[in-house]
Amino acid sequence: MKMKTRLENIYKDLINGSQINPPQELWEDISRELDVNDVWGNISRDLDTNLVVRLENYTLAVSVAAFFLSLFFLLRPANIEISNDPTLSQVEILSGNTEVEAKNPAIERSPIGVPVETREVDGLSDPVMNINSQSMELDDITLQREITNEGSNHSQVFVMNLERRGYSISRDLQLTTPFYGIEIANSENHDLTSKGRVFIGIVGSLKNTWLVNDKTISGFSAQELHTTKAILGREFGLFAGIKISSKQSLLAEYLFTSNYAQNYQEYFGGHYITSSINVDYSKLNLLFALRVSREGNWRTSTELLLGPSLGILKSATESIEGDEVTLTDNYENFLFGLTGGIQKYLLLNPKLEVFGGIRLSYGITNIYKGTGVIPASFRITHPAAISFSFGLRYNLPKK
């Protein structure tokens, strides 16, 4: 490398070693410019905040609408309620879209939907003709069913004779359903609850996330000048599980992304600074699921979920007035927590279910590692979230 000449060294030393006072009014000019910038900054911030609030409201409204829409479909009354007796599962209709045609138009209401005690009295099967006939006697109803299976078209004919409360009604009903096929309906494979059955699926969620610490909590106080708000987070991942009994199953979920975030509005020197912290994890949930109810001829079911979760830190960032700063070094690499919730499942076909539900998750360990200025113990932080979960579950055929 070429050595520096004496002139270069003298010049460098003189520039670096000297201090020259700029005119006093220069700071006043800078301060004035900063004030002008602040005015626009405040207006711009308010506009941004309004936009964010509007977007949050729209997103929340869409999420709530989607949630209630899914509940509407999930909780829709079953077409036929005959019995929950598992021995009669073969006569349950497992699909929606049933068309009912009353051959006697004088009868306005059908007794279908009235839960009655049933017992199976006869069952015939003719695999050559592909016709399956069954006859049942209900409490005061005689029900005959004939199912025809022709390729992909399946139809069922119910003949019902009713005698109730001192008067007699004879009625023929014809029901046509996109039934799955007699061989499936009569097969043990159709029973999704059998022990050892394996399922896989995808899961996602929109969640209301919080970074619970002293700063966040104090933001709720009316006496504090700063405020805190939740941020909408999201999760997406895959899961696999196994039925360990007719009502219980174990599943492992791997979420590629699961973020926790918090928005702050802090008051400094006459104006508010908006900042938000976002901590993103990939996450593994090990969940125990307990089916607590099954409705609508098993078309819908409800499960409670609970289990531990392990998060692996992907990134942590702080956005101050729109400029992003990386804070990954300030947060712990692992998060240990609990996840629980309730999910409702709707059977779309014998193997595929769609589900939606509500989950709570809470990080038990402190995720804040601290900085050179703020030690970890000064800002103990636990991530928490309430999420609307949704997904698809595919039940693999049992061997």
Partner 1 sequence: MLEEESILIKGCIRGDRKSQEAVYRKYANKLYAVCLSYSNDKASAQDILQEGFLKIFGKIKMFDQKGSFEGWIRRIIVNTAIDHLRREQRIHIYAGYDESEYLAENPNVYENLNLERILGFVRKLPEGARIILNLFAVEGYSHKEISEKLSISVGTSKSQFNRAKNLLQQMILESE
Written in H, E and C, the secondary structure of 7-65 is HHHHHHHHHHHCCCCCCCHHHHHHHHHHHHHHHHHHHHHHHHHHHHHHHHHHHHHHHHH
Instruction: Report the phi/psi class of residue 130: left, alpha or beta, with left for phi > 0 and alpha for psi in -120 to 50.
Output: left
CB nearer partner 1, residue 42 or residue 125:
42
Q: Which range binds partner 1 by CB under 8 A, 23-31, 60-68, 175-183, 239-247?
A: 23-31
Residues 249-268 that bind partner 1 (CB under 8 A): 266, 268
- Per the listing, tokens 């939740």 go with 230
Among 126, 269, 377, 399, binds partner 1 (CB under 8 A): 269
CB nearer partner 1, residue 59 or residue 218:
218
Which whole-number Å values give the CA distances from 182 to 86, 152, 194, 339, in the listed order? 17, 11, 19, 40
Q: Which range binds partner 1 by CB under 8 A, 35-43, 66-74, 178-186, 201-209?
A: 35-43
Question: In whole angstroms, what is the distance from residue 180 CA to residue 126 CA?
Answer: 17
Q: If binding is defined by CB under 8 A, does position 224 make contact with partner 1? A: no
**Residue 337 CB partners (closer than 8 Å, separation 6+):** 308, 309, 311, 361, 362, 363, 364, 365, 383
Nearest partner of 143 among 188, 183, 90, 86, judged by Cα: 90
CB nearer partner 1, residue 8 or residue 139:
8
User: Least separation, in Å, of the C-beta of 272 and partner 1?
Assistant: 9
Q: If binding is defined by CB under 8 A, does position 5 make contact with partner 1? A: yes
Among 184, 242, 244, 273, binds partner 1 (CB under 8 A): 273
Q: Which two tokens stand for residue 162?
A: 């009713």
Would you give the DSSP letter of residue 369?
Answer: -
Q: If binding is defined by CB under 8 A, does position 24 make contact with partner 1? A: no
Q: Which range binds partner 1 by CB under 8 A, 24-32, 124-132, 335-343, 344-352?
A: 24-32
User: Least separation, in Å, of the C-beta of 195 and partner 1?
Assistant: 56
Q: Note the residues at the interface with partner 1 (CB under 8 A).
A: 4-8, 10-12, 14-16, 18-23, 26-27, 29-31, 33-34, 37-38, 41, 266, 268-269, 271, 273, 320-321, 323, 325-326, 372-373
